[in-house]
Copies of this chain bind each other. A is one copy, B any other.
Amino acid sequence: MKRTAFFISDGTGITAETLGQSLLAQFENINFVKLTRPYIDTEEKARTMVQQINAAAESDGARPIIFDTIVNREIRAVLAHSNGFMIDIFSTFLSPLEQELSSDSSYSVGKSHSIGHNANYMERIEAVNFALDNDDGARTHYYDKADLILVGVSRCGKTPTCLYMALQYGIRAANYPLTEEDMERLQLPNALKKHKHKLFGLTIDPDRLTAIRNERKPNSRYASFAQCEFEVREVENLFRRENIAFLNSTHFSVEEISAKVLVERGVERRLK
């Protein structure tokens, strides 16, 4: 069974998209075609949306599901005339919140109000720059400024996790690859020793690591199962010996790894 879902917003669409994705994931038997439509901020654009919604309704033989976070009443009214099943996210929750907070929302007085990531812009850019400058052990003399330092074998997911934490939460995360050389020494590299309280280990199933490294350097020794298996085993032993908390990233998304690392290390989000 196929159903179309639209995430519609007069802003970026991230709220509608995030909530919609979570809710639809609870219906495993339905095959959703998901379409995000941000910046629907005029009645004219809303009328074009109505045409798309009605076309999908006809082609699916069922009403599309509409998740919307549109603030403007007139624009919502246009959408409400479509042949879609509307889940009006703001309307649903703002009225009980207004009561609890004894305060009118910008929404109910008809004023759009963005989430205001702007105040955080410089903090975020700084965090991204920090992740890039301190990626892959490139520099180690700024580790005193790091919120945390991810360690693990090459290609176990350190870089995307650091970048995600920087962009999503403004966290300054460095990462350091544990190489064969470090393994043979069987101890932590000097650069990491004095920042042990900031370290968090990532590990990965050797099968998965082999697949990822083969994408990068096909048929190399680096990508061989034997090498991957050896490195992962040695690094996990190091983590245990040095009492470094670690996580196997194999079955987790970048969001999940990031959230788990922050919980484990007790690091609070910097973007508010």
Residues of chain A in range 138-190 having any CB-CB distance to chain B below 8 Å: 157, 159-160, 163-164, 167
Count of A residues near B, CB < 8 Å?
A: 76
Q: Which residue of B lies closest to A36 (CB)?
A: B269
If A13-B259, A87-B96 touch, does A254 touch B19 (CB 8 Å cutoff)? Answer: no
Number of copies: 2
Which of A15, A29, A272 has the most B CB atoms < 10 Å from its CB?
A15
Contact A90 B128 (CB under 8 A): no
Q: Which residues of B contact A47 (CB under 8 A)?
A: none
Known contacts A101-B30, A163-B167; is A116 also within 8 Å of B25 by CB? Answer: yes
B22 pairs with A69, CB closer than 8 A: yes
Given contacts A23-B90, A34-B272, contact A103 B167 (CB under 8 A): no
B residues less than 8 Å from A255 (CB atoms): 12, 14, 117
Could you list 14 examples of A-B contacts with CB < 8 Å? Answer: A14-B18, A19-B19, A22-B115, A25-B115, A26-B90, A26-B107, A27-B97, A30-B103, A117-B255, A122-B215, A126-B215, A128-B159, A128-B160, A167-B167
